[in-house]
Amino acid sequence: GAVVSQHPSWVICKSGTSVKIECRSLDFQATTMFWYRQFPKQSLMLMATSNEGSKATYEQGVEKDKFLINHASLTLSTLTVTSAHPEDSSFYICSAREPLSVNEQFFGPGTRLTVL
Amino acid sequence: QKEVEQDPGPLSVPEGAIVSLNCTYSNSAFQYFMWYRQYSRKGPELLMYTYSSGNKEDGRFTAQVDKSSKYISLFIRDSQPSDSATYLCAMIGTNAGKSTFGDGTTLTVKP
């Protein structure tokens, strides 16, 4: 299957700082990428849908000014958590969809964010 | 009420057992049904997907979809300790639509 990478795999930061997480599709072009957040022992919560070259579509209750998403190319989407606080500590996972595979999502390995 | 319901378990079985994992849903527009496996601290991995009703088999895994009952299942035959993970069902209503995930079932296969 297609490969999606994320960087960094884990990050610890101080409260008030911003953190950028990268999501890359390594062997295919992804016109659509998704960003999820997952708390311990809970399911995936979709935060936003990112389409290359256009603004991301955020789910209800997700602050777009706090979680900045940029999908500048067909292989890269970034999520920036601005002014992070301890309650933002979570596992952030991206996924990408191949243009010709409308039902398959390939997930990245996730980024564990801890805000002190 | 959630669109997709999945028993979180935990489910514990001995090695070699047949495992049955299930999800129910309420949205009759769902057309694509997926099962993902997620190991601890890792991203989900697609196991199988099925379009509409029917069965699909891949090695030790069999996915079943019954749209009339709005019920999907994943069977694992000859379960192995390496199958220990959280299994998530997911569904999509239309082409290129968003996936709706179940909460996941945590499975432990004991040697």
| Per-residue tens of pLDDT for chain A, all 116 residues | 678 999 999 999 999 999 999 999 998 888 889 999 998 878 889 999 988 888 899 999 999 999 999 988 889 999 999 999 999 999 999 999 877 766 678 899 999 999 99
| CA–CA gap between residue B86 and residue B90 (Å, rounded) | 13
> Which chain B residue shows the shortest CA-CA distance from A98?
B96
d(CA A76, CA A79): 10
Tokens matching residue B44: 């989900």
Q: Which of B8, B43, B98 sits opposite A93 (nearest CB)?
A: B43
B99 contacts in chain A (CB < 8 Å):
34, 46, 105
Q: Are the beta carbons of B88 and A44 separated by less than 8 Å?
A: yes
The residues on A that touch B, with CB distances below 8 Å, are 1, 4, 6, 32, 34, 41-44, 46, 49, 91, 93, 95, 97, 102-110, 112
Is the backbone peptide bond immediately before B10 cis, with ω within 30 degrees of 0?
yes
Confirm or reject contact between B62 and chain A (CB < 8 A): no
| Secondary structure of chain A in HEC code, one letter for each residue | CCCEEEECCEEEECCCCCEEEEEEECCCCCCEEEEEEECCCCCCEEEEEEECCCCCEECCCCCCCCEEEEEEECCEEEEEECCCCHHHCEEEEEEEECCCCCCCCEECCCEEEEEC
Tell me the sheet residues that pair with A68.
Answer: A80
pLDDT confidence of residue A103: 67
| Identity of the residue numbered B25 | Y
Asked whether B14 and B39 are in contact (CB, 8 A), the reply is no
Q: What percent of chain B has pLDDT over 90?
A: 70
The answer to whether the Cβ–Cβ distance between A6 and B43 falls below 8 Å is yes
Closest CB to B104: pick one of A43, A107, A109. Answer: A43
Identity (one letter) of the amino acid at B90? A
For B37-104, the DSSP string reads: EE-TTS--EEEEEEESSEEEEETTEEEEEETTTTEEEEEESS--GGG-EEEEEEEESSTT--EEE---
Q: B7-45: per-residue pLDDT in tens? A: 888 999 999 999 999 999 999 888 889 999 999 889 999
Q: Measured between CB atoms, which of B95, B98, B102 is closest to A43?
A: B102
The amino acid at B76: I
- Whole-number pLDDT of residue A53: 81
Q: How far is CA B26 from CA B58, B70, B93, B94, B103, in A?
A: 27, 7, 12, 15, 15
Cross-chain Cβ contact A104/B46 below 8 Å: yes
* Mutation for testing the B interface, residue in A21, A94, A103 having most B CBs under 10 Å: A103
Closest CA to A32 of A91, A95, A84, A83: A95
- CA B34 vs. chain centroid, Å, equals 7
Whether residue B96 is predicted with pLDDT greater than 60 in this model: the reply is no
- Quick check: helix, strand or coil at residue B107? strand
